[in-house]
Amino acid sequence: MANIKSQKKRALTNAKCQKVNAGKKTELKTAVKKVVAAVEAKDKDAAVKAYDAANAQLDKAVSDGLKKKNYAARQKSRLAKAVNSISK
């Protein structure tokens, strides 16, 4: 633990942010898994809804600095390809 007062405060702030970020990352992974599950169930409507939600969360994660831009682009592409493979 730090001896300087400002660094003690910073350590507490970092711990809080770490918990918040962990929750956001978990939500993001869950959103992606929902798309994959809907695709496996061959439910086009649910897959499209889940894909839209996952896209929004991926964009938010990039803007918050949780994930890199290329990660989000790769996930969006992969999920879009999966959703489009479902025939109605």
In sequence order, what DSSP letters do the residues of 34-84 get, joined into one string?
Answer: HHHHHHHTT-HHHHHHHHHHHHHHHHHHHHHTSS-HHHHHHHHHHHHHHHH
Q: Each residue's pLDDT tens digit in the chain (88 positions)?
A: 789 999 999 999 999 999 999 999 999 999 999 999 999 999 999 999 999 999 999 999 999 999 999 999 999 999 999 999 997 6
Contact predicate 24/64, CB 8 Å: yes
- 59, 9, 57: which is closest to 30 by C-alpha? 57
- Quote the pTM value: 0.86
Ordered by where they begin, the domains of the chain are: 5-84 (1.20.58.110)
Per-residue confidence (pLDDT) for residue 69, from 0 to 100: 97
